[in-house]
Amino acid sequence: MTREIVLDTETTGLSPVSGDRIVEIGCVELINHIPTGRHFHIYLNPERDVPDEAFRVHGLSTEFLRDKPLFRAEVDAFLEFIGDGTLVIHNAPFDMGFLNYELEKLGRPSLTNEVIDTVMVARERHPGARVSLDALCKHYGIDNSKRVLHGALLDSEILADVYLELIGGRQVALALVAETHVEAGISVTIAPARQRPMPLPSRLSDIEFAAHLKLVGTLGADALWSNYPTELVAAE
């Protein structure tokens, strides 16, 4: 089973070293590249004012965030949700830099999860093209009409759709291998269908089967049908 966490943050600015803080975290869970419906979402009090430049990006004001919990109060719930899952992030150094800085302030170890940076994946898939989230949505025909402002959970949900397209489209979830489906918190593994120990009896009549053999005889020795039995198995 492959567990991935599509993650996004919103912040007060561009640099935690300069005093900027996280104000929102949004995460979406994927199992075998399929969204499970489980998510983690929290607004955080940054313990500082939100600059106008940041407010214009995400719309989260100082007043709105004033009564929200501090990161230290939510860190355990956040770490429990992501677990050891692979983190899927658009421009990963930015978000990972902020998250690890917040953890460091609390004396916690940095995240050691495997990280997939969808910016790098997009640049590899589409050299020279714009790789912003909006540009990728336009390229893949993904609806982002609700994205008037940046929002960590909404952006994570949109990024999940973009990520699936980047790795080959939603068909990756339809491969003919054992799959794990998660419904209502219950994990159910569905194994591939096994081959029958005995073939089913033919439903062809003697006349139909004779006509079939006559046709196969005209196809040559290399015909695919030559690999199959030439005796009719009678139905019981």
Order of strands across the sheet that contains 34-43 = 34-43, 22-31, 3-11, 86-89, 115-117
What DSSP line would sit under 217-235, residue for residue?
A: HTS-TT-GGGGS--SPPPP
Per-residue pLDDT tens digits for 118-156: 999 999 999 999 999 999 999 999 988 876 557 899 999
CATH of domain 3-190: 3.30.420.10
Per-residue pLDDT tens digits for 151-198: 899 999 999 999 999 998 765 554 433 444 444 444 444 444 455 555
Using CA atoms of 30, 147, 42, 116 in order, give the dihedral in degrees to the nearest 10. 40
Out of 33, 39, 58, 150, pick the active-site residue.
Answer: 150
Per-residue pLDDT tens digits for 4-41: 999 999 999 999 999 999 999 999 999 999 999 999 99
pLDDT exceeds 50 at position 235:
no
Domain-by-domain residue ranges, the chain? 3-190, 195-236
Note if 150 is an active site residue.
yes
Q: What pLDDT shows up at residue 172?
A: 52
Q: What residue type is 225 in one-letter code?
A: W
pLDDT exceeds 90 at position 43:
yes
Question: Widest CA span of the chain, in angstroms?
Answer: 87
Q: What's the per-residue H, E or C state across 15-39?
A: CHHHCCCEEEEEEEEEECCEEEEEE
Per-residue pLDDT tens digits for 78-92: 999 999 999 999 999
